[in-house]
Structure 1
Amino acid sequence: MEPGVAYALAAAGIWGGWLFALKRYFDGVHAAVLTFFVNCSAIAWYVPFAAATRPGGLPALPPLDATAVAVFAATVVLGGAGFILSVYALGVGDVSYVAPIAKIVPVFVVPVEVFWLHASLEPTAVAGIAVATTAVYLANYEGGGVLEPLRRAASYRPAQLALLSAVLYAGSDVGRRLVLGDYTVPTRLWVPLFLAGIAAAVLPLALRRWPDGGVRPWLPVFLLAGAGVAVGEHVTALAFANASASVVSTLVNAQAIVAVLLGGLLLREPGLRRRLAAACLAVVGVGLIAA
């Protein structure tokens, strides 16, 4: 197995387990508080490792003009908002329901690239959007009329939050491509800066939603979760460094399948077969879009 493929599969397992952990272990913690402490923990784990494994320590930040700084800031804000909404979605819906919908991010990335970055739209991307849309339809199907799943997706709170988080993540992903590609920000520097930016952005909301009993009982869990996020970010970066983006994107988004299986088998969530089929369709759609 090629190293990039192995890293991508490992990342899918890590992020799928992370989605499950968000549902299973963080009930009662506000999304902003969770985001702040987990990101701070991930930085504390990641920075010493990144500095120790690169000669000369962390790389320097390249010169950025006003446009690059604005794109960087927008990428951070959109990524943080997308994560918070995904936590909200998991708080009110099953992980096996939310994951297939929240992982159709490329469906929204493609239109942004076409209309704003003037990218060409391949026939496979159109087919991928259709397949991923079918995944949302299947995840919402519970019998009834043909249009009932669409009405449910438009009115059901978990679906609304999952779709909106996918839209925000799409904007963040486009910004990430610009930051890492056009603006040449090194990956080992981008990861802690991105996590720190999100933590700073959500801090005012976290302070307003501080738990009445304090956060001390949650600190060990935050520390462990931060280690998982740090490993996930690093393994994902290794995957993109060792394999094509189309292959890595498809395999990493298989985290939806992992999350559906964990939610159905360990949390006894209903509709396992239907939601697993929806997750598989979402991954296939992502693969076609990335091809």
Structure 2
Amino acid sequence: MVPLSPGVGFSLAAAVVWGTYIFVLKRFFSRYPGTVLTVVINAVAVAWYLPVAVTRVRAAGLPDATAVGASQLAVVVGTVVTSAVAFLVFLRALDAGEVSYVAPISKIVPVFVLPIEVLLLHQRLTPLQVVGVVVATLAVYVANYRTGSLLDPLRKAATARPAQLALLSAVCYAISDVGKRLALQELGIQPELWVPTLLLGVLVVVLPLAAREWVSVRADLPKFVAAGGGVALGEHVTALAFQQVPASIASPIINTQAIVAVVLGGVVLRERAFATRLVAAGLAVCGVGLIAL
């Protein structure tokens, strides 16, 4: 049993924050282009987070610019870019499908994290982790199942646009999660420095795309302010979670955000096939839990 340490508590808090954020995006921001949404919310999130960064970043812990090599820079830049791509693809998945359909598929991130760690960081697979991959993959099957042939869900996952986008976002998030782990653990970047770096980096990457399809957000500015505060909080507790407990514990707990999004989508928006998708979200959580063992 995982003890309820502060790191586990931060992981659970992050799951609630990000699960609610997924629902809010679909409920209140679906009419905005994903690029514009990303730039405005990240800018607001940075403004919310600046007081934390200014007061808590330790000068003694700042990286020495002369000691930063190409590999360290590649980790930071690569993590920022893949985070931006993952979020934009996820927004497109939300536009194309329902929250309770997209969320369970897009949050099987640890299924892809594990092979990356095996290949790049030489992590070994245990039998339970193999079972976890199978269970989490089964969640994709269940999320796509309606009636008829048992092969129909597999065909839908391979051909349905929302499923394809959700899976692609999961892959991108997996790459960015490995990068976050390297940045916060191996490189030792302070969480209070990492959060604004990530938010600003994603903003810069997406800004040229947003400029081409810019629309006014003035009418919903209070909603953007609230959403930006949620993102700042989510990134902060996520960074604290990865700082205090191993990634193999934090990541599966944080990705239970799918449960929060599915419940909100089913109860508030009354989306179809709620019970089936709740089972899919539960399988995804069980799968990533086994992967973490």
| Interval containing the TM-score (normalised by the shorter chain) | over 0.9
Change (3 A) 1:121 1:51: same
Offset at residue 209 of structure 1 (A):
0.9
Range with greater deviation from structure 2 (24-33 or 66-75): 66-75
1:112 to 98, 116, 119: 116
Q: Kindly provide the amino acid, as one letter, of the partner of residue 238 in structure 1.
A: L
Q: Kindly provide the amino acid, as one letter, of the partner of residue 16 in structure 2.
A: G
| SS of equivalent residue, structure 1 residue 144 | coil
Aligned to 1:260: 262
For 1:171 and 1:55, how far apart are their aligned partners in 2? 26
TM-score (norm 2): 0.93
Q: Kindly provide the amino acid, as one letter, of the partner of residue 177 in structure 2.
A: D
Once the two structures are superposed, the pairs formed by residues 7-18 of structure 1 within 5 Å of their partners are 7-18=10-21
Q: Which ranges of structure 2 fall in alignment gaps of 5 or more residues?
A: none
Aligned to 1:98: 102
Question: Are 1:284 and 2:283 counterparts?
Answer: no
Q: Which ranges of structure 1 fall in alignment gaps of 5 or more residues?
A: none
Offset at residue 50 of structure 1 (A):
2.9
Checking the alignment, whether the CA contact within 8 Å between 1:101 and 1:135 is kept in structure 2 is yes
For 1:8 and 1:121, how far apart are their aligned partners in 2? 23
| SS of equivalent residue, structure 2 residue 31 | coil
Offset at residue 283 of structure 1 (A):
0.7
Aligned to 1:28: 31
| SS of equivalent residue, structure 1 residue 281 | helix
Aligned to 1:46: 49
CA RMSD between the two structures: 1.6
1:202 to 202, 206, 215: 206
| SS of equivalent residue, structure 2 residue 272 | coil
For 1:279 and 1:58, how far apart are their aligned partners in 2? 43
Deviations 1:189-236 (A, max 9, x none): 11100111100000010000112xx22223222211110011111122
Deviations 1:137-184 (A, max 9, x none): 000001111111010001111101000000111111111122222222
Q: Kindly provide the amino acid, as one letter, of the partner of residue 253 in structure 2.
A: L
Change (3 A) 1:123 1:199: same
Aligned to 1:230: 232
Change (3 A) 1:142 1:55: closer
For 1:55 and 1:20, how far apart are their aligned partners in 2? 32
Offset at residue 55 of structure 1 (A):
7.2
Deviations 1:94-118 (A, max 9, x none): 1000000000011111111112222
Q: Kindly provide the amino acid, as one letter, of the partner of residue 38 in structure 1.
A: I
For 2:142 and 2:263, how far apart are their aligned partners in 1? 16
Q: Kindly provide the amino acid, as one letter, of the partner of residue 150 in structure 1.
A: L
Offset at residue 242 of structure 1 (A):
4.0
Range with greater deviation from structure 2 (113-122 or 71-80): 113-122
Offset at residue 77 of structure 1 (A):
0.5
Percent identity between matched residues is 54
Offset at residue 23 of structure 1 (A):
0.4
1:247 to 249, 260, 267: 249
Q: Kindly provide the amino acid, as one letter, of the partner of residue 85 in structure 1.
A: V
Deviations 1:251-281 (A, max 9, x none): 2211101100000000000111110010011
Aligned to 1:158: 162
For 1:56 and 1:118, how far apart are their aligned partners in 2? 33
Q: Kindly provide the amino acid, as one letter, of the partner of residue 289 in structure 1.
A: I
Range with greater deviation from structure 2 (70-79 or 196-205): 70-79
Checking the alignment, whether the CA contact within 8 Å between 1:58 and 1:189 is kept in structure 2 is no
1:126 to 127, 130, 150: 130
Checking the alignment, whether the CA contact within 8 Å between 2:19 and 2:258 is kept in structure 1 is yes
2:182 to 178, 184, 187: 178
Range with greater deviation from structure 2 (237-246 or 257-266): 237-246
For 1:5 and 1:68, how far apart are their aligned partners in 2? 28
Change (3 A) 1:119 1:246: closer
TM-score (norm 1): 0.94
Deviations 1:64-119 (A, max 9, x none): 20121122111111110000011111111110000000000111111111122222
| SS of equivalent residue, structure 2 residue 121 | coil
Question: Are 1:215 and 2:217 counterparts?
Answer: yes
Range with greater deviation from structure 2 (218-227 or 138-147): 218-227
